[in-house]
Amino acid sequence: MEQPTESSPGEGSEIILDDSRFDVSRKVLLTDGFMTWFIKFGGVMVVAAVIGIFVFITSQVLPLFKGASVELDAATTTTEALPKGNYLGIAADEWMEKPLAIRDDGKFIYSDLVTGEVLESEFDFLEGDKMTALRIESGEDLIVAGTESGQVHLIEFSYSPTFKDGVRTVNEDLNLAFTGEFNGPVTKVSCGQSGDSRLIAVLTETEEGPHLELDLVQRKKSLISAGDWKEVGKTDLTETLRSDVAVQEILVTNRADAVLVVFENGEIDYHFRSGSGLNTELRQTFQPFADLNEKKIKNADFLLGDVSLVLTSPEGVNRLFSLYRSEEEPTRMFHQTKEFPALPDTPAFYSPSFRNKAFLTGTSNTATLRYATTETIRWESELPWEVTHALISRKSDSLLFLTEDRHFVRVPVDDPHPEAGIKAFFGKQLYEGSSEAKYEWQSTGGSDDFEAKLSLIPLIFGTLKGTFYAMLFAVPIALFGAIYTAEFLDPKNKVFIKPAMEVMASLPSVVLGFLAALWLAPMIEDRVPSVLCIVVLVPLGAFLFGMLWSRQPRNIKKYVREGYEFLYFAPIMLILLFLGWQMGPLVESLIFTVKDPNTGERVGDFARWWPSITGTAYEQRNSLVVGFMMGFAVIPIVFTIAEDSLSNVPDTLRTGSLALGASRWQTAWRIVLPTASAGILSAIMIGLGRAVGETMIVVMATGNTPIMEWNIFSGMRTLSANIAVELPEAPHHGTLYRTLFLGAVVLFLMTFLVNTIAEVLRQHLREKYKTV
């Protein structure tokens, strides 16, 4: 092939052009191909990693929404039936291996579910007497028995495992702790224990009629022994009984501070014991089923904690009454808080959980496991046996039934998260002690009977609140700064602004949180009026300076180089900052005044004025502090991306606008800003994502209280901060542990939703302004 030639002017020589100079070396082609595939592989791996993280988090969350699993087919039944007789109650060890049944003749019968043996205890407390009343307080490992002769016996039962030759054996023990004397045969009895005090409620039948007494027994512990239980005193409540209505049941709380007397007409008397003595008052009389035709009560017993009362009518209507104080009542009273679906027939048994607010109830041939807080049925089924008594294990991992044919049946249960559910996480709940349903987060408490409150709504609200105040502070400063830098500042000064912003962005959030908690919050705690003055004076001063400067004649403006006007405004801004800070106390004394309770005079005190006017709290670590410091972390992100978007607008648009007579500000506002709007929106959304996911600043600069109010002077708790604070203490695979992962899913979805909306708006703006 002939090579093209070209004659050089002025010379007769020819230049030969060789196409081989355009050939690319094999090394470059291999490198280019490798990097192309490497980048694609990296992108795919990033997407796979994000999907993998989401799948893992979701897998941790899904068990929260499963119901209870009760395996009736895997039930363990004793091979040998209990001896014939009338069994009044049952108890069991924590492993459900050696349950105990108590017969009306005072015999204690143990049934070993491992070996199948049935053992009759030699323990005899009646000594020829006849048992006429029985109450088993399983939560206190206590059996309370009343006799025909008027005696009340407190019997403590316990279990202990022993190991011999590799074989584990559960050993039982019964101990007669106290015997009290009363007048007449005992018909009803109950007992509650608080520390080293036990309150016994006893109903006896005397010649004058029913007689109700309270007996207080106590013990004094020593270094070497627990001490013996001794009677301290008695009090008579017979006057509160009805002459024409019999007593059906007596209940004493586990704090030994209240006695409930259930009458056969469906009424309940609530007696409260105050102090350490026997001073009692009748606080309330109520009828749980007053709205029904059949007002009687079939079953009445407490939930764990003895703050709520589970009641069932003979027709199976199941209601929950809890103690709380309404606005009209001076003390806590019982009110109906929940109602469950009715049982199909007359209730035959009831057992509360030892670990949470669940309870087991049912008829002779059906059983249902229910959870009080969420008002849900965890499990319900017909039973293949006729049941007389039932019990939930102490670990809530099995159910124990005593059948009509006197066999013990142990059924395994898997319900690790009964307090979870859509309603628990995102719905209003009526918690114990509360007069109204509300959203609340309180994962732990100071006692075993604590009711977990796991609503995510306060955390979502706190996340939105913190983000709102941070963006309210950051967006105006960042956007106006970006507009000024891109449109008005001398280009030579940009080399200093950009690195400064990058330094701001590089500051660790833990450092910003530390500064917010230990420096900023104490500094502005008593100087909020000064902050308000600065917020008003600085923008107003900037506006007036710009307006006056724009109206100056050219013979004055010529002395200031274009793009250096800020040098003249900087000292003015410093003066305004100083004046605003100094004016704060004066403004406070003139406007934010309250009456001094000591002198009766009006004094300036914003910290007391704000609660008196708004009815909301004023706290040192509040949303204002978070807004300032988190906004400081967001400003560099929004500024950098927005400034790049503004700077990338073609200069032809600017020069065309200026040539048509528009001012620099008009050009920036009406031409440059709309053209760069897609990039500016991206900047704001990325800043929003930074604020939503912020953790350390919120952890350190707020009170971390999960409250729901827009008050700028109160704190909040965000989803991310909640995960950071609670995850180290959450039991692995427990409800709290998985709920924190659910919070992570919600945070992920919030960020995804924001980014999706931002992308849709960005594409819309690009389409709208693509013609320019």
- pLDDT by residue (tens digit) across 57-107? 999 999 999 989 999 988 888 878 999 999 999 999 999 999 999 999 999
pLDDT over 70 at 729, yes or no: yes
Q: CA 460 to CA 289: how far, in whole Å?
A: 39
Indicate the DSSP class of residue 728: G
The mean predicted confidence, pLDDT, of the chain is: 89
The Cα–Cα gap between 514 and 696 comes to 9
Two tokens at 387? 């049941």
Please state the rounded mean pLDDT for residues 727-737: 91
Rounded to whole angstroms, the Cα distance separating 137 from 125 reads 18
The pLDDT value given to residue 664: 82
Task: Tell me: pLDDT of 156 over 70.
Answer: yes
pLDDT of residue 21: 63
pLDDT at residue 23 greater than cutoff 90: no
The radius of gyration of the chain from alpha carbons, rounded to an integer in Å, stands at 38
| Residues 24-38 pLDDT 10s | 788 888 888 889 999
Question: Is the pLDDT reported for residue 1 higher than 50?
Answer: no
Residue extent(s) of CATH 2.130.10.10 domains in the chain: 123-286
Q: Tokens for 770, please give them.
A: 């693509």
pLDDT at 446: 66
Cα–Cα distances in Å, from 369 out to 376, 389, 390? Answer: 9, 14, 11
pLDDT band at 531 (very low <50, low <70, confident <90, very high): very high
The pLDDT score that the predictor gives to residue 451 is 86
439 near 428, Cβ under 8 Å? Answer: yes
Average pLDDT over residues 409-437: 92
Distance CA 362, CA 403 (A): 13
Helical (H) or strand (E) element with 664: helix 664-667
Report the C-alpha gap between 456 and 426 in whole angstroms. 6
- What does the pLDDT average to over 659-674? 87
Tokens of 91: 């108890």
pLDDT at residue 741 is higher than 60: yes
**Residue 550 to residue 534: CA distance in whole angstroms:** 24
Alpha-carbon 673 to chain mean position: 43
With a pLDDT cut of 70, the percent of the chain lying above it is 96
**Among 270-274, 488-492, 612-616, 675-679, the least confident range:** 488-492
pTM, two decimals, is 0.86
194-197 long-range Cβ contacts below 8 angstroms, 24+ apart:
194/254, 194/255, 194/256, 194/257, 196/220, 196/221, 196/227, 197/256, 197/276
Confidence of residue 20 (pLDDT cuts 50, 70, 90): low
CB 203 within 8 A of CB 247: yes
How far apart are alpha carbons 772 and 770 in whole angstroms? 5
**Is pLDDT above 50 for 2?**
no
Order of strands across the sheet with 308-312?
299-302, 308-312, 318-324, 333-340
User: Nearest to residue 622, comparing CAs of 697, 702, 520?
Assistant: 702
Q: Find out whether 454 and 425 touch, Cβ atoms under 8 Å.
A: yes
- Per-residue pLDDT tens for 106-150? 999 999 998 888 999 999 999 889 999 999 998 889 999 999 999
Confidence of residue 439 (pLDDT cuts 50, 70, 90): very high
- Write down the architecture of domain 457-711+754-771 according to CATH: Orthogonal Bundle (1.10)
The Cα–Cα gap between 28 and 36 comes to: 12
Q: Output phi, psi for 765, to 5 deg.
A: -70, -35
Pinpoint the residues of the chain covered by CATH 1.10.3720: 457-711+754-771
Which CATH superfamily groups domain 123-286? YVTN repeat-like/Quinoprotein amine dehydrogenase (2.130.10.10)
DSSP for 446-472, please give it: SSTT---EE-SHHHHHHHHHHHHHHHH
Tokens coding 9: 């002017």
Pick 248 or 207 by higher pLDDT.
248
- The H or E element that residue 268 is part of is strand 268-274
CA distances from 185 to 136, 149, 250, 536, 749 (A): 19, 5, 16, 82, 66
- pLDDT for 319 equals 96
Q: What is the pLDDT of residue 18?
A: 61
